[in-house]
Amino acid sequence: METIKINASKTYDVLIGAGLLDEAGELIRKTAGGNAAVIVTDDNVAKLYAKRLYDSLAKNSYRITQFVFPHGESSKNAKTFLSLLDFLAEEKINRSDVVVALGGGVAGDLAGFVAATYMRGVRFVQMPTTLLAAVDSSVGGKTGINLKAGKNLAGAFYQPDLVLCDISTLSTLPPEVFRDGCAEVIKHGMIADRLLFESYKTPINTQLDKVIARNVEIKRGIVMEDEFEKGKRKLLNFGHTVGHAIELLSEYEISHGHAVAAGMAIETRAAFDMDLCDEKCLADLLQMLEKYGLPVNTSYKADELARACLSDKKRDGETLTMIFPLEIGNCALKEINVTELESIIQKGISA
Ligand SMILES: NC(=O)c1ccc[n+]([C@@H]2O[C@H](COP(=O)([O-])OP(=O)(O)OC[C@H]3O[C@@H](n4cnc5c(N)ncnc54)[C@H](O)[C@@H]3O)[C@@H](O)[C@H]2O)c1
CB neighbour list of residue 82: distance below 8 Å, 6 or more residues apart: none
Residue with the smallest CA separation from ligand 1 atom 12 is 105
- Radius of gyration in angstroms for the set of CA atoms belonging to the chain, rounded to a whole number: 20
Residue with the smallest CA separation from ligand 1 atom 43 is 256
Residue with the smallest CA separation from ligand 1 atom 30 is 173
- Ligand 1 binding pocket includes 247 (Cβ within 6 Å): no
Confidence of residue 316 (pLDDT cuts 50, 70, 90): low
Residues counted in the chain: 351
CB neighbour list of residue 251: distance below 8 Å, 6 or more residues apart: none
Distance 347 CA to ligand 1 centre (A): 30
**Opening angle at CA 219, ends 142 and 281, nearest 5:** 120
- Ligand 1 binding pocket includes 160 (Cβ within 6 Å): no
CB 62 within 8 A of CB 35: yes
* Main-chain phi, psi angles of 162, to 5 degrees: -165, 145
Is the pLDDT score of 314 beyond 70?
Answer: no
Torsion, Cα 268 316 253 183, to 10 degrees, reads 40
Active-site residue set = 120, 142, 184, 219, 229, 233, 237, 240, 244, 256
Distance CA 58, CA 245 (A): 43
- 95: nearest Cα among 141, 35, 55, 43: 35
Is the pLDDT score of 277 beyond 70?
Answer: yes
Residue 44 alpha carbon, nearest atom of ligand 1? 37
- Ligand 1 binding pocket includes 45 (Cβ within 6 Å): yes
Mutate to test the pocket of ligand 1, among 75, 80, 130 (most ligand atoms within 8 A of CB): 130
CB neighbour list of residue 122: distance below 8 Å, 6 or more residues apart: 88, 93, 94, 95, 96, 97, 98, 99, 115
**One-letter identity of residue 18:** A
DSSP assignment letter at 139: S
Distance CA 84, CA 274 (A): 46
Distance of CA 306 to the CA centre of its chain: 23
CB 190 within 8 A of CB 197: yes
Confidence of residue 315 (pLDDT cuts 50, 70, 90): low
- Ligand 1 binding pocket includes 159 (Cβ within 6 Å): no
3-state DSSP call for residue 292?
Answer: coil
Residue 180 alpha carbon, nearest atom of ligand 1? 15
Residue with the smallest CA separation from ligand 1 atom 44 is 137
Distance CA 316, CA 320 (A): 6
Residues 208-252 pLDDT 10s: 999 999 999 999 999 999 999 999 999 999 999 999 999 999 999
Distance CA 291, CA 305 (A): 26
Confidence of residue 151 (pLDDT cuts 50, 70, 90): confident
Per-residue pLDDT at 313: 59
